[in-house]
Amino acid sequence: MALQSLDIVRRSATTTPSPSVRRMPEVAKLIDVSTCIGCKACQAACMEWNDVRDDVGTTGGVYDNPPDLTAASWTVMRFSERRGGGGLEWLIRKDGCMHCQEPGCLKACPAPGAIVQYANGIVDFHEENCIGCGYCITGCPFDIPRLSEKDGKVYKCTLCSDRVAVGLEPACIKACPTGALQFGTKEQMREYAAERISDLKARGFAKAGLYDPAGVGGTHVMYVLHYADQPGLYNGLAADPRIDPMVSLWKGVTKPIALAAMGAGILGCVLHYVTKGPNDVPDEAGREEGRK
Amino acid sequence: MASLAPTYGRGAMTNHWVDIRNADLVLIMGGNAAEAHPCGFKWVIEAKKHNRAKLIVVDPRFTRSASVADYYAPLRVGTDIAFLGGVINHLLTQDRIHHEYVKAYTDFTFLVDEGFSFENGLFSGYNAETHTYDRSSWHYQLGADGYVKNDPTLRHPRCVYQLLKKHYSRYTPEMVEKVCGTPKEQFIKVAEMIASTAVPDRTMTVLYALGWTQHSLGSQIIRTAAMIQLLLGNIGMAGGGMNALRGHSNIQGLTDLGLLSDLLPGYLTLPGEKETDYGAYIKKRAPRPLRPNQLSYWQNYEKFHVSLMKAWFGDAAAKTNNWCFDWLPKMDKPHDVLQVFEDMHQGRINGYLCQGFNALAAFPNKAKLGTALARLKFLVVMDPLATETSEFWRNFGPYNDVDPAKIRTTVFNLPCGCFAEEDGSLVNSGRWVQWHWKGAEPPGEAKVSTDIMAHIFVRLRELYRAEGGAFPEPILNLSWPYRIPVAPSSEELAREYSGKALVDLSDPKDKTRIIRKAGEQLDGFAQLRDDGTTSCGCWLYCGSWTQAGNMMARRDNSDPFGNGQTLGWAWAWPANRRIQYNRASCDPAGNPWNAKRRQIWWNGSAWGGSDVPDFKPDSDPAEGMGPFIMNPEGVARFFAVDKMADGPFPEHYEPLESPIGVNPFNTNPLAVSNPAARVFKGDRDAFGRAAEFPYAATTYRLTEHFHFWTKHCRINAVLQPEQFVEIDAVLAAEKNIRNGDRVTVRSKRGEIKAVAVVTERLTPLTVNGRKLHQVGIPLHWGFKGAARPGYLTNTLTPFVGDANTQTPEFKSFLVNIEKA
């Protein structure tokens, strides 16, 4: 999904420096959970825009359909019922890629250029480079990417990088009937969120706030939550998401160490050869001649 | 519709979608706007975001609308009149009403005939044999001058105010709790929030839909809410109104064009079989004003009727033959869909053209419908989809267990295009007639519906011409002026509905001035004549296509007053008036009740402002003309005189299948359920009793689907793939049903199997001293389509309808449930 209207600032498993001549504002999608009615227009629009069709599943006793993200459902609504102080609450959250500023998937990915991050903050998969190892799923603090059984590649929400590249809003934002989904620069989204939060506080939600987790450097998909102090209420939204330290380790310090170890190993071999010489195996004929 | 007309004069959403954002309080009851109208619902969200509006939801279930509401209260299915009557009692006893408004703009002060009474559940004039009322005592007292008598002091015991107060004094908060199961404190909290809009600078909008109409007393439920809005002075106001959210993109158009069996286009009415005299027919429908200086706009009925007959019969309609009056069918009784299927079931119907609806799926008691269809000689289905109705004869295992060998009906499938495959208009809930343009060709052999009907008509006419037949005159003389007779264009039809001058029309005040030349499109229904000089297919749509062009195609969304009145976007009936009864937004002197939300006002010589006045534009406030110009009294009615089949005041009755078996409001065995409901013989035996079917059930829709269409679409099927029913956790535990288990739901008429969704959004209610469980049954599945096959939900529902509209009681009946 490469469109060079957007500059790439990071590529997986690549150290080549990125272009930086053009200035690009960071974008963000804001999901205002308090005005979301769970209608799934976003799910429908996502399938239509991206020409993917998920399978017709079954109902397991909840309104979540499909029950989880898949390689063909890049966003799903998650419903949870809860008895709060003021009575019953039906909390509905749109789940999907959070487009982290410090993306765990990109860090974990061993395939060069399979995962990129654009200057505007969107984290995108370039499936033509994907080797299907699934490391990105382990690396994601939100458990988002899904491997396709059909082609062995991973898929997730692209924040409609193709639409955004030509100045359009993502398909889900366009389809959302109540305006629960908003799109703009991250700054604009923070301002909009502030208005919504003050409205929620006036209606008695004292802990209303913005979900923009610092543990991943902030995200380009943010939530306005009634209970920003308890993200777990929203069907297990991570309270303090961070990239797994194993990923940081494996892709971080172990790389130079491994490189150094390999370099040292090769150097050791060369030195040994130079000092000790080749390994001489005695000739059968020579030994017999020696005995004559 | 049938309730707003007797109350206000017209039956339709009084305000419109965008106006909802002007509300201070939004009440969603008898409907689930977020679920069923997600796009329109954005205006509720806008009201919350920009107007600090509060949203209240009262519903048997905690719905998607409730999930974003500020307050939710539960109530038992079918008991909305008890709840709303309780609100009326609260408003009257706490004196939280808009006094000046009700005195000036309603029949509060009018005196009612001494013969009218209400006793132990029955109004005066009941005939227990025929289950009908003789309504002759249900009217106002008339003075010698022919005008209604009134008492401005409101002290006369026969004035409507006193009778209203007395009637609803029985609807105490305790009774609400007993009948509805709504805890008293919750009811009072809702009543108080509603009462806060009785002041002139706060308005409430009421959003309702099929949760109110689909009951045996649906029109009375709506009337009760309509009365509340009058008490609060919220009719005619921005952000106010009684807003019927229609369930189908063009259902408003269907009723506007008179497709109900008792109507003609524009809500004109068919003559009854005893109405053999044209003059009497007109006189009955063109009432003179019943108060001084009132407009009583239906006085102009003959102009609309004659113009319609000229549109239908052209030159054949003349004064000498009473404009072809003898060619109109005369109604012996209502021929609504329930009656038609009853007749079909009795073998009295040979053939049926089923166009654009899926009768087997959409009507109650599937078993009865299937038997009825099998008794037809032929069935013609015109639909874009292969519907259950078109394959009613095929065996689909448990989902449609029939033996095709025993069914002799010949079924013709005529595939037709859908709305996006033709130019045309749709009328939304807000009465906006919006034109759209064709997006694609109909696939394969499918033809546009009008082409199919035109082909049928042209061939039928030929057969009548060649072979004669019974009563051929109306068919042979039907005006059919279309350029291509078998393909009338939408434009030609739209122009015909809007109407044209047949001769040069001169200004009545100055005969030398020609306002419209012969053949020109008219500007509005004020130009219609009763002398055969104008032609108009639907007087309400007059002005939708003028000499300036297609007004419905306009797309200017300028909002110059910042109140959501976008008069340049499309065209609304009547006459592009966006908020009906907008004269009532001002006090009797002509000044807006709320200066901050001005709509129209009197400027000294004319009415005007941000809307087209729904009023005589030059009528000085001193004349005292009332805002409800369609009513001969000029005011809105609390007392519906003889306009409702089941009583001038709404009264609580139990659904025909009642979970408690008694009506706590009376001790009369004739008045447990609606005494005037029409029940066919045989259907009464098919009603279940609480002993066998203890749970109250309701059917409803989900956002992910539209009726029985979208199960044919892959994406919708992915979003909600499989049939389920919703039950509360207590009932689930009693029956050992876990979330996700398969269950069987049975009624007296049949059974379905589905997945159980065990949810907190339903809770057991305490009704009449006992615990009652409710079962929720979404209806979108069937045996055709891309979704998982399911049972038609209407296998379960009862074959009885509202006493006025015959809308079936889909929303309150009895079931039992077991683990499958």
CB contact A199 to B (< 8 Å): yes
B764 touching A (Cβ < 8 Å): no
pLDDT band for position A291 (cuts 50, 70, 90): low
CA distances from B298 to A4, B236, B524 (A): 67, 20, 15
pTM of the model: 0.95
Helices B80-93 and B160-168, axial angle in degrees (round to 10):
120
pLDDT greater at residue A246 or residue B91:
B91
Distance from CA of A147 to the nearest CA of B (A): 19
Confidence tier at A22 by pLDDT (50, 70, 90): confident
CA angle centred on B669, ends B665 and B670, rounded to 5°: 95
In contact, B717 and B709? CB cutoff 8 Å? no
Nearest CA in chain A to B61: A88
Give yes or no for A149 touching B (CB within 8 A).
no
Closest-CA distance, A197 to chain B, in angstroms, reads 11
Nearest to A87 among B72, B741, B758 (CB): B72
Radius of gyration in angstroms for the set of CA atoms belonging to chain A, rounded to a whole number: 26
Q: Give yes or no for B786 touching A (CB within 8 A).
A: yes
Q: What is the pLDDT of residue A19?
A: 85
Give B66's contacts in chain A (Cβ within 8 Å): 88, 90
CB-CB: which of A35, A61, A196 is closest to B739? A61
Taking the Cβ of residue B802 and every Cβ of chain A, the question of whether any pair is shorter than 8 Å is answered with no
Q: Which of A218, A45, A256, A32 is nearest to A117 (CA)?
A: A218
- Select from B446, B459, B467 the least CA-distant residue to B486: B459
The pair of structure tokens assigned to A3 is 């469109």
Report which secondary-structure segment, H or E, holds B571. strand B571-572
Instruction: Indicate yes or no: CB of B715 within 8 angstroms of CB of A48.
Output: yes
CB contact under 8 A, A37 and B52: no
pLDDT block averages, 10 residues each, chain B of length 820: 91 95 98 96 96 97 97 98 98 97 97 97 96 96 96 97 98 98 98 98 97 96 98 97 93 94 95 97 96 95 98 98 97 94 97 94 96 98 96 97 97 95 96 97 95 97 96 97 97 98 94 96 97 98 98 97 96 97 97 94 95 96 96 97 97 97 97 96 93 98 96 97 98 97 97 98 97 98 96 96 94 97
Indicate the residue of B703, B757, B760 with minimum beta-carbon distance to A88: B760
Q: What DSSP string describes B1-18?
A: -TTHHHHHSS-S-SS-TG
Output the CA–CA distances (angstroms, integers) from residue B198 to B238, B509, B581, B598, in the order listed: 14, 44, 18, 17
Q: Which residues of A touch B62 (CB under 8 A)?
A: 88, 90
Cβ contacts of A73 on chain B, cutoff 8 Å: 718
Contact check, Cβ <8 Å, A37/B67? yes
Q: What is the pLDDT of residue A18?
A: 87
Nearest to A90 among B39, B62, B704 (CB): B62
Q: Which residues of A touch B39 (CB under 8 A)?
A: 177
Q: pLDDT band for position A15 (50/70/90)?
A: confident
**Cα B36 to Cα B703, B743, B797, distances in angstroms:** 6, 26, 21
- Band (pLDDT 50/70/90 cuts) for residue A289 is low
Q: Rounded to whole angstroms, how far apart are CA atoms B749 and B708? A: 21
- Tell me if chain B has a CB within 8 Å of the CB of A51: no
Report CB contact under 8 Å: B38, A39: yes
Give A91's contacts in chain B (Cβ within 8 Å): 67
pLDDT, chain A, mean: 92
- CB contact, 8 Å: B739 with chain A? yes
Reported as a single tens digit per residue, the pLDDT across B628-648 is: 999 999 999 999 999 999 999
Strands B505-507 and B510-516: antiparallel
User: How wide is the angle at C-alpha B804 spanned by C-alphas B799 and B808, nearest 5°?
Assistant: 25
Strands B545-546 and B549-550: antiparallel
Minimal Cα–Cα distance from B741 to chain A, Å? 8
A66 contact residues in B (CB cutoff 8 A): 718
- So what's the pLDDT on residue A1? 42
Helix (H, G, I), strand (E, B) or coil at B737: coil
- Hey, is the C-beta of B516 within 8 angstroms of any chain A C-beta? no
**Are A88 and B65 a contacting pair at CB < 8 A?**
no
Contact between chains at B34 and A83 (C-beta distance less than 8 A): no
* Residue A197 pLDDT greater than 90, yes or no: yes
The answer to whether residues B777 and B796 touch, using CB atoms and an 8 Å cutoff, is yes
A43 vs B contacts (CB less than 8 Å): 718-719
CB-nearest partner of B68 from A34, A41, A73: A34
Please report where in the chains the tokens 């007292």 appear, as a residue. B141
Which residues is A78 bridged to in the sheet?
A93
Q: How far apart are CA A138 and CA A136, in angstroms?
A: 5
A85 contact B CB<8A? no
State the best of A30, A36, A46, A56 to mutate against chain B, taking most chain B CBs within 10 Å.
A56
**Closest-CA residue to A97 (of A32, A29, A163, A49):** A29
B81–chain A nearest CA distance, Å: 25
Give the per-residue pLDDT at B58: 98
d(CA B258, CA A15): 72
Establish if B65 touches chain A: CB-CB under 8 angstroms. Answer: yes
pLDDT of residue A253: 81
Q: What part of B 676-735 touches A (C-beta under 8 Å)?
A: 703-704, 714-724
Q: Residue A20's pLDDT is what?
A: 83
Q: Do A37 and B68 count as a contact with CB atoms less than 8 A apart? A: yes
Residues in chain A, overall count: 292
Tokens representing B405 are 């060998």
Residue numbers in A near B722 (CB within 8 A): 57-59
A-to-B residue pairs, Cβ atoms closer than 8 angstroms:
124
What is the band of A278 on the pLDDT scale with cuts at 50, 70, 90?
A: confident
- Within an 8 Å CB–CB cutoff, is residue B51 touching chain A? no
User: A58 at the B interface (CB within 8 A)?
Assistant: yes
